[in-house]
Each structure stands twice: as structure tokens, then as C-alpha cells.
């Protein structure tokens, strides 16, 4: 593999599985396996590509950093939340969806090469949700108070 890979297995990975993955990674010289990183955002900012699942926090991190992204959404137990989120972002040109049949090594390698050849998507997402929500609430409450009291603020 001509690239360096940082694999974050997640904090809930069974210890025995984690140890096997760590051992296999050490034999490659270019793959690192950790459970998580407190510097995940900084690593994403420097990454050429992220291959991840489509959980809410991960997707927000991808949007915040603008890194090229392949997303393999969790769909076990008929859970469609990650798929719906990833599909919507794919339709906006922000991520590309990975399907189970694409996980064959040759197909995945080709997909990775294709993604690395692309220019990262330039995002126009407003990431100030908390401030915007607070302003909307203030405006809404102020308008209601005006109606109730007859006083314009």
C-alpha cells in the first residue's frame, strides 16, 4: 500500500480484536490502529481521505474539515439513519457512499485512487448551528411577547 493509514477502531472494540488488528498493522509499516484519538479533528484536517461510517459526530467532523470522504453507513438491524444522512450528503457532492459490494480489495483500492484524484468538495455549510438557533429562539420569543403584550421591542 503506497499510503499511510490511521485506523480508529472505536472505544467499544473488543480488546482481543483490537490486539489482533494492532499486531497486523505493525507488520505493514504504514498502518496504525488506535481505539480513538483526542486529536481526531486535527488528523482529519491533514488527511487526504477519510473512510468512515456515517454517524452524526463523524459526519459533522467530515463537514467541519472538508476532507474527501468515503462513507460506509451502518445499516444493521434495519437502521437507516446513517444511510439516509450519507445518501443526502452524496446527492450534494460532499461524500461518496460505499456499498458492501465495493469492499472487495481491488474495487476499494480503485475507489480510493479515484477519490484521491478528486479535488476536495468546497463546503458551503453554515456550521454555526448553536448561535443561529439561539438567534431564532430570541426572535420567536420576542415576537410572541410583542403579540401578548402589545409592546414592540
Q: Domain residues of the chain, as ranges?
A: 5-123, 124-153
pLDDT at 130 (0 to 100): 84
pLDDT at 146 (0 to 100): 86
* pLDDT exceeds cutoff 90 at 15: yes
Q: What mean pLDDT do residues 108-125 have?
A: 87
pLDDT at 3 (0 to 100): 86
* pLDDT exceeds cutoff 90 at 147: no
Q: Fold for 5-123, please state it.
A: Rossmann fold (3.40.50)
**b vs e for 103-133, b when ≥16 Cβ sit within 10 Å of the residue's Cβ?**
eeeeeeeebbeebeeeeebebeeeeeeeeee
Q: How confident is the model over 46-94, as pLDDT tens digits?
A: 999 999 999 999 999 999 899 999 999 999 888 899 999 999 999 999 9
Mean pLDDT of the chain: 91
Q: What mean pLDDT do residues 5-25 have?
A: 95
More confident residue, 102 or 124: 102
pLDDT at 89 (0 to 100): 93
Amino acid at each position: 500500500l503506497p499510503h499511510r493509514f490511521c485506523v480508529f477502531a472505536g472505544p467499544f472494540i473488543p480488546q482481543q480484536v483490537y490486539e489482533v488488528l494492532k499486531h497486523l498493522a505493525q507488520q505493514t509499516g504504514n498502518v496504525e490502529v488506535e481505539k480513538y484519538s483526542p486529536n481526531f479533528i486535527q488528523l482529519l484536517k491533514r488527511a487526504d481521505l477519510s473512510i468512515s461510517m456515517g454517524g452524526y459526530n463523524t459526519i459533522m467532523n467530515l463537514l467541519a474539515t472538508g476532507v474527501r470522504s468515503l462513507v460506509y453507513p451502518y445499516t444493521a438491524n434495519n437502521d437507516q439513519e446513517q444511510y439516509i444522512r450519507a445518501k443526502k450528503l452524496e446527492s450534494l457532492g460532499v461524500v461518496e457512499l460505499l456499498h458492501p459490494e465495493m469492499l472487495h480489495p481491488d474495487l476499494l483500492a480503485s475507489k480510493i485512487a479515484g477519490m484521491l484524484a478528486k479535488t476536495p468538495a468546497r463546503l458551503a455549510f453554515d456550521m454555526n448551528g448553536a448561535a443561529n438557533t439561539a438567534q431564532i429562539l430570541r426572535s420567536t420569543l420576542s415576537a410572541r411577547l410583542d403579540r401578548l403584550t402589545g409592546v414592540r421591542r
